[in-house]
Chain A
Amino acid sequence: MASLQTSDVVRWGWFLPRDAALHGPALDAHLMLNLWIVLGLAVLAHGLLLVGVMVRRRRAKLPVVMLEYLPLLALTALFAWLATKSEQLWASQRYVGADPAAMQVEVTGEQFAWYFRYPGVDAAFGRTKLPLVSAAEGNSLGIDPTDPKGKDDIVTSQLVLPAGREVDLTLRSLDVIHGFSAPEMRLKQNAVPGQTAHIHFTPTVPGEYAILCTQVCGLGHYRMQSVLRVLPAKEFDAWLTQRELAKARFESEVSR
């Protein structure tokens, strides 16, 4: 996978990376619409400015209404239209939570790594406590060993997801504010210590994608990167089963 071709990552001339989420194409289309409008208005305004300073004084008198209020009215309509369109997209993504059947994954940011936790066979996350955090003891997230729900929790350093299924990410941070960003999923949300945030999306195209930190979090900020692996549903199921079995084996050995 190391020799990923440029064409795999970049879709076209605006340098926008590949789009691999269900909500992505609508977002991209709206972004492109905005960029073309912006480009058009910038060229128009510069054209008027350049022609304006080149020509000599004209005598024709035009009222304020024609030169100021009419263009403003048109711009108001334009921005209102864009706002309505963008709010529809925003609302469909953020006003409602994930489907109750969505896959649950918890994302935890820590200087300078991302951890991903799957709830295991019981479909419930175990309790976490900050004083229990200890990377040396293999408990980077501070999962409470007395909570039975946490026994089967699986913690990974890569986010592995099935294609075509909705995912509900629970974001949290152990230390400072981190910015969870997956450019190819058109997704970004800060992980803030002391609170959790939810974002949900559906990855569509299998592949390996970037996870970046986009909120400055200290000297290792630039290398706080991880991998999002989107697998075909069957491969994902096999991966998850394997992880769950390994976890069960480990737990039974520890308790013995």
Chain B
Amino acid sequence: MRVFSTRHRDVGLGYVAISLVAVAVGMLLSLVMRLHLTWPDWSLPLHGPVLPEEYLAIVTMHGTLMLFFVLTVAPLSGFGNLILPAQIGTRRMAFPRLNALGMWTMWLALVAALAAFFVPGGAPIGGWTAYPPLSESPLAGPGQGAGMDLWMASIALFCVAGTMNAVITLTTIVKRRCEGMTWERLPLTVWAWFTAALLSVPAFSVLLAALVLLFCDRHLHSGFFVPGQEWINGVMIEHRGDGSPLLWLHLFWFFGHPEVYIAILPGMGLVSMVIANFARRRVFAYRLMIATTLLIGLLGIVVWGHHMFVAGLNPFAGTVFSVASLAIALPSSAKVLSWLVTAWGSRAPGGQRKPMATPMLYALGFVSFFITGGLTGPVLAQPILDEYLHNTFFVIAHFHLIMSMAAIFGIFCAVHYWYPLVFRRQLSERLGRWHFWLTLLAAYGTFLPMYITGLGGEPRHYAQLNGIAGPGARLLALTMPLQRHITYSAVVLIAAQVLFFWNIQRTARGPKLTEENPWGATTLEWAPGAMDDEGPKVRVVREPCCYEQDGEGFVPQWAEPEAVSGIPIPLRGEAE
């Protein structure tokens, strides 16, 4: 593999490597957070006790690394580059050199973000949302000086790289599909990448613009996000203008909400295809799945205000955002129903094939987390309930079950499913199953109790819950037994990931696979030579997921009709 390669596979692997670095650091940071919350006097080896500002810096960087560099980069940029061209029957992404440039810009963004730890004052402490005036003045706290500037530079570079990749993805899907690959025959993965890329362009552009304005507020004393006069840490600051932090909230969440769909949509698409493949039947209500993907994307852009119910918005605006947010429950439910129906009765009749291979397990795990995390979305979408639950651990449980667990299970599913395609080796099923079950149970042990501590009133971003006097501390101290349980689970959850890396490491030395299509997949990336740079050109003659009634025989998208004339294909729109 050449370092400055413009091949889509190398670029995709580069993006995946970014995510691997970010996920390793982000996971360690979360471990430090959990240990500190449970035992505040605990001394970090080679460092000493964790100070409150360090705790906030860790929270900020954990969110930044995970949201931007793991959940956006791996599913969309990483697997998009690795698999997308083969899945639509082209040899390369559009604009290969720009594509490689995007990946290297993303590396630069990651380096800038990590560098924030090593400057005077340390990393920023305002959370990944960076609300001004906290993010606007170095006086507001340690980390808000050089650390904050590095953070902004990092996210600006991320926006540039992300937009580049989104434009390339869109262009590739629109212009480079092979013969016969009509929009209706596109695998749902491609539809998901398409929608995520569509969302990325306005979301990242708006965030970049907001960052430029924040930069002006910080260094040129303009007043886009701060009032004309500010009083911070005993110092009066005058600005050339009279603005409002609410403008930042609007711009930030206009990016921030679509961002969560950018992260989860690729997983949804992949899970749809994987469940269909291992259940050996057509995706139930295929066209509706395309429609719901687009609808979730569309609604995702117009609901940013549900992060602002208690921020100082007009309560009538809260109502509008509430109704729009509740509406997302419907396309999401439609997707869950489709997954349930598709997976129904997937056990093999003959017992020759194994429907419960690890990619299927991860896909089902995705569905499970999506249900348990997603169902609390409508609860939080009601402003009257958000008035109580906003910024508590209830919210943390909600988005960690969806974002950190469902989306990560989507990534695990992708790794296990496509590993034989990319590396011609198969990951150990046994290790994979162990990893799956341990991760699933530990994740539920970690995140489900957070619903309860959230209901108990535990707020986010608290560096310490006990040891303070007053009724607030007495209230929070009640969550401590659960806190300890959450920390133990989190330690198991993180430890279980060793199995995954061990599996990858072990397989890298294992024997090569002889089978070209070990999962019996029907989508185009498994066509012979589809992943090569100079393979035979392929032609698509039907939609994906055509299987025989007994589930043994299947007809891939690329098989010519005369070769498979004897196989009856079930009708569309029915569950067998």
Q: List the interface of chain A (C-beta within 8 A of B).
A: 4, 6, 9-10, 14-17, 27, 30-31, 34-35, 38, 41-42, 45-46, 48-49, 52-59, 61-64, 67-68, 71-72, 75-76, 79, 82-83, 86-87, 89-91, 93-95, 111, 130-131, 133, 142, 174-177, 179, 181, 183-184, 186-190, 192-195, 197, 208-223, 225-228
Is B453 an interface residue when CB atoms closer than 8 A count as contact?
A: yes
Is B134 an interface residue when CB atoms closer than 8 A count as contact?
A: yes
Bound form: Cα–Cα A133–B237 in Å = 13
Q: Which residues of B contact A181 (CB under 8 A)?
A: 391, 459
Interface size class of B (residues with CB under 8 A): 35 or more
Bound form: Cα–Cα A205–B318 in Å = 29
CB distance from A203 to the nearest CB of B (A): 14
Contact with A along B390-413 (1 / 0, CB 8 A): 111000000000000000000000
Is B298 an interface residue when CB atoms closer than 8 A count as contact?
A: no
Bound form: Cα–Cα A131–B573 in Å = 70
List which B120-162 residues lie within 8 A (CB) of chain A.
Answer: 125-127, 131-134, 140-142
Contact A183 B336 (CB under 8 A): no
CB distance from A32 to the nearest CB of B (A): 10
Contact A189 B388 (CB under 8 A): no
Could you show 12 A-B contacts with beta carbons less than 8 Å apart? Answer: A10-B456, A16-B456, A67-B284, A86-B385, A175-B233, A179-B459, A192-B312, A194-B244, A216-B126, A216-B127, A217-B134, A225-B473
Contact A4 B330 (CB under 8 A): no
Segment with Cβ contacts to A, from B191-199, B366-374, B435-443, B509-517: B366-374
Nearest CB in chain B to that of A215: its residue: B391
Segment with Cβ contacts to A, from B104-112, B165-173, B319-327, B491-499: B319-327
Q: List the interface of chain B (C-beta within 8 A of A).
A: 51-53, 56, 59, 125-127, 131-134, 140-142, 226-233, 236, 242-246, 284-285, 288, 310-312, 315-316, 318-319, 322-323, 326, 329-330, 333-334, 336-338, 340-341, 343-349, 355-356, 364, 367-368, 371-372, 375-376, 378-379, 382-385, 387-388, 390-392, 452-453, 455-457, 459-465, 468, 470-475, 478-479, 551, 573-576
Bound form: Cα–Cα A164–B574 in Å = 61
| Overall SS of chain A's interface | mixed
Contact A48 B340 (CB under 8 A): yes
If A27-B388, A208-B471, A216-B134 touch, whether A75 touches B226 (CB-CB below 8 Å) is no
CB distance from B347 to the nearest CB of A (A): 5
Contact B462 A221 (CB under 8 A): yes
- CB-contact partner of A14 in B315, B455, B576, under 8 A: B455
Contact A189 B312 (CB under 8 A): yes
Nearest CB in chain A to that of B376: its residue: A38
Contact A176 B140 (CB under 8 A): yes
Bound form: Cα–Cα A164–B218 in Å = 46
If A61-B576, A93-B384 touch, whether A215 touches B330 (CB-CB below 8 Å) is no
If A17-B475, A216-B460, A227-B470 touch, whether A42 touches B371 (CB-CB below 8 Å) is yes
CB distance from A157 to the nearest CB of B (A): 11
Bound form: Cα–Cα A211–B226 in Å = 26
Bound form: Cα–Cα A215–B452 in Å = 20
